[in-house]
Amino acid sequence: MTAGTVEEERNAALLEWYEANQRSFPWRATADPYAILVSETMLQQTQASRVVPHYEAFLARFPDVASLAAAPFTEVAAVWSGLGYNRRARWLHRAVKEIAASGWPDTVAGLEALPGVGDYTARAVAVFALGHHDVTPDTNLKRVLSRWYGEPLAGANLYRIARRVIADDPIAWNQAVMDLGATICRRQAACDRCPVAAWCAGPDVYQRPAMQTRFNGSVRQVRGAIMRDLIRGPLDDAALAMAMGRFHPEQVDEALDGLIEDGLVVEMDHGFAIAD
């Protein structure tokens, strides 16, 4: 059996499985680059099931580039509230302002030049919205392909192999690999249920990603609390200190410094406010 036949048979089995078992998400029902950019920004470091209601609420309020670009960031932050990692909202807002002014880039490099858009997000927009025949290099793709080929894949080597094996339909193939990695080819792989186990080297090749620090008691929690309070309006030093009284003052200072550095909060005379 030639390598080409192996890849073709594996892709056929994968796509047949995907047709019957694909997960349903609202962003999979659109090719609008704006909606895809919103979803991919929200999906960074956040489970898809948590993103769905925030995505739908966000698009209901800001249905297109023009409406988001024209909105003050205080309003954007208010709609984003509860999703976490508020700097993503700031970067999304800035990226959309550039798109409103200059139009959509039509290359991965052009998309990556937008504020806050990295390699994965750029390729996801390019594949799912702009029709590029490319791979979306998320953690699932890295894990699945590493196991298929029996070696840890990353960087240029991952791209080289992924582009060699991708099916003719890049949207379905990328989503199929994502779904396989999210439901079967997980950290603890369920190989007995895998549709492509016959063409896989095995589950032993796996590099666990760095664990995220706990949320409760973290600076991330303080950042979110500050943003929620400032969304309701500016607070002077005393009012903010009272609102953050349950947190250690050093954590509050660190969180404020980070929010200011990220362009989410501005310091005023004797107080703080959401940045516009």
Active site residues: 40
Helix (H) or strand (E) holding 265, with range, is: strand 265-268
Contact 234, 272 (CB under 8 A): yes
What is the per-residue DSSP string for 16-34?
HHHHHH----GGGG---HH
| 270: exposed, middle or buried (Cβ count in 10 Å: 0-12, 13-18, 19+) | exposed
Beta-bridge mates of residue 235: 272
According to DSSP, the residues that pair with 274 across neighbouring strands are: 265
Q: Spell out the residues 6+ positions from residue 84 whose beta carbon is closer than 8 angstroms to its own.
A: 45, 46, 220, 224
For residues 162 and 145, is the Cβ–Cβ distance under 8 A? yes
Q: Which helix (H) or strand (E) holds 272?
A: strand 271-274
C-alpha atoms less than 13 angstroms from C-alpha of 117 in its C-beta half-sphere? 30
The per-residue DSSP string of 52-114 comes to HHHHHHHHHH--SHHHHHHS-HHHHHHHHTTS--THHHHHHHHHHHHHHHH----SHHHHHTS
